[in-house]
Structure 1
């Protein structure tokens, strides 16, 4: 498979579909490349030499029927595109697996940069970094201000019991990856369960909201929010808690999982929370629970990666160090949760 014909992207069949469904959208021969950085679903940039499009499809090989749901992703960006939430313009949904071997959708290509590390942010300088991260909060406020019913997403999830289901789900994930003793993780899970907060009114939640899931333009504003595969209707403070977690320094400069928090000018977690509260009007007094839950969830995800590494099921660099991170995430979760309970 040549670089212009990456695995999972049959450009001839894609071209046939585009000519049939969206005549005139492309004209010259198509080339395609895989866009690196995605965690699960595959994203390709496709071009005819002039126009550029993006194709998003599930990973190669067998996937669970409910995972990597292209129809669901396409639905949420289609609903949000007319709002003030910046998302790429959806072009086409294809559920015919004969075209690319799996359902997929096509959307516009948006110019912008996904900043994944503090090192990538550093050349922007302190002031521009600050503006970019604050705009991340402002865009989250805009997302959570969308009325799901007004954009046809009132049946997009099951908000009742949302936090309890989330906690149970990640507890099951943990049980599926138990290959060693992890001090404190059961205490963290149980304490989270005993102190479930009362959720505010449900909103569309992104589910994985962080700086490297948005594209920042040359003006340091967010041009597009990407990777909607975990979106649903639920508790908006789960998005904020996760963002706060990703904006907290790990204190591990060589960590294979990085946050952007060490970049000069990066706002503090407290400043992000204060800005969200002021602009959204929501009560954030229980946010320590949501942030601790984010630490727990990431600890479970990382332990799953470590577990697969110990079984020889991962390929690539850095996997040998993932396991060392898990106790750090557990400790952050416990410290955050207990300090919040003491304040409460």
Structure 2
């Protein structure tokens, strides 16, 4: 395979489509490369030598249509682009599978850095690190301030019963990858169901909001939020709970799950919650539940990876140690929930 023609991307066919749909946009032959990262959808950088764009498409091979819905991703960034929420400018959605073998969309390339680990963040120094993470909180507040009706997203999800459905969904995911005893996980799932909080008014929810899903500019401001594949209308505090969870140091050296929480200057969970509450005006008294739910969700995701690894279906660095992490996430979830209940 030539370096300008990665699997799943045909630059000539893409150029033909862009010349037809967006005449004058592309100034010469296109080349492309696969960008690492993202949960599962494939992301490519394409260029004509002068300008750059990004192409997003589902993974190669057969996938469930709902699991990798390009139309939804394109729709949410198109809706948010005119708002204060930083997202790349959408260029084109193509649902014709003849062009690249699957639906895809094109958006502008945004210059910036995704920080995935504490080691990557450390060179910024404590002050810049703190500002970057607090900026992440402020940008989440901006996202949750968008009125779905005003941007045409009233039917983007089913917010009624959102938390209950989420809990059921991740319980089913757990059942699908059960092949060993996991002490405490059923207790955590049951306790979460018993203490289900009352959701605030629904907002656009990102679903996987963390530092390595945004691009930071050289001024440490967020240039773009990426990876909208989990986005929907729902309870905004689920995004906050996930952000808080990722701000807790795991206490595991050389963990296969990346975290920036141990970078010098990284705000602690209390400061993140306080910042969000002050800027959004939302009641965050149930934040322990949302954080415990995030620990549960990640435990289920990691157990799924571990299960596929035991079947020989997942290869890669660190996957052999993912299984050891699951009990740590369960214990964090139980502890967080107990602490929250103790307060109440």
What TM-score, normalized by structure 1, do the two folds share? 0.99
Using the TM superposition, give the Cα deviation of residue 27 of structure 1 relative to its aligned residue in structure 2, in angstroms: 1.3
Q: What's 2:307 paired with?
A: 307
Instruction: For 1:107 and 1:253, locate their aligned partners in 2 and report how far apart those are by CA, in whole Å.
Output: 38
SS at match of 1:66: helix
Using the TM superposition, give the Cα deviation of residue 92 of structure 1 relative to its aligned residue in structure 2, in angstroms: 0.2
Instruction: For 1:51 and 1:26, locate their aligned partners in 2 and report how far apart those are by CA, in whole Å.
Output: 8
Q: What's 2:282 paired with?
A: 282
SS at match of 1:224: strand
Structure 1 unaligned regions, length at least 5:
none
Using the TM superposition, give the Cα deviation of residue 258 of structure 1 relative to its aligned residue in structure 2, in angstroms: 2.1
**Deviations, residues 281-331 of structure 1 (Å, cap 9, x unaligned):** 000000000000000000000000000000000121111000000000000
Q: What's 2:218 paired with?
A: 218
**Deviations, residues 85-135 of structure 1 (Å, cap 9, x unaligned):** 000000000000000000000000000000000000001111110110000
Instruction: For 2:161 and 2:211, locate their aligned partners in 1 and report how far apart those are by CA, in whole Å.
Output: 28
Q: What's 2:15 paired with?
A: 15
Q: What's 2:116 paired with?
A: 116
Instruction: For 1:183 and 1:258, locate their aligned partners in 2 and report how far apart those are by CA, in whole Å.
Output: 24
Q: What's 1:100 paired with?
A: 100
Using the TM superposition, give the Cα deviation of residue 37 of structure 1 relative to its aligned residue in structure 2, in angstroms: 1.2
Task: Say if 2:83 is the partner of 1:83.
Answer: yes
Assess if the C-alpha contact under 8 Å between 2:118 and 2:262 holds in 1. Answer: yes
Q: What's 2:44 paired with?
A: 44
Instruction: For 1:332 and 1:165, locate their aligned partners in 2 and report how far apart those are by CA, in whole Å.
Output: 22
Instruction: For 1:321 and 1:180, locate their aligned partners in 2 and report how far apart those are by CA, in whole Å.
Output: 15
Q: What's 1:341 paired with?
A: 341
Using the TM superposition, give the Cα deviation of residue 152 of structure 1 relative to its aligned residue in structure 2, in angstroms: 0.2
Kindly report which structure 2 residues correspond to 1:184-223, keeping only aligned pairs within 5 A, or say none.
184-223=184-223
Using the TM superposition, give the Cα deviation of residue 276 of structure 1 relative to its aligned residue in structure 2, in angstroms: 0.2
Instruction: For 2:112 and 2:45, locate their aligned partners in 1 and report how far apart those are by CA, in whole Å.
Output: 13
Matched residues, number: 344
Q: What's 1:155 paired with?
A: 155
Q: What's 1:330 paired with?
A: 330
Instruction: For 2:2 and 2:296, locate their aligned partners in 1 and report how far apart those are by CA, in whole Å.
Output: 41
**Deviations, residues 141-161 of structure 1 (Å, cap 9, x unaligned):** 000000000000011000000
Using the TM superposition, give the Cα deviation of residue 28 of structure 1 relative to its aligned residue in structure 2, in angstroms: 1.4
What TM-score, normalized by structure 2, do the two folds share? 0.99
**Deviations, residues 197-234 of structure 1 (Å, cap 9, x unaligned):** 00000000000000000000000000000000000000
Instruction: For 2:267 and 2:86, locate their aligned partners in 1 and report how far apart those are by CA, in whole Å.
Output: 22
**Deviations, residues 52-88 of structure 1 (Å, cap 9, x unaligned):** 0000000001111211100000000000000000000
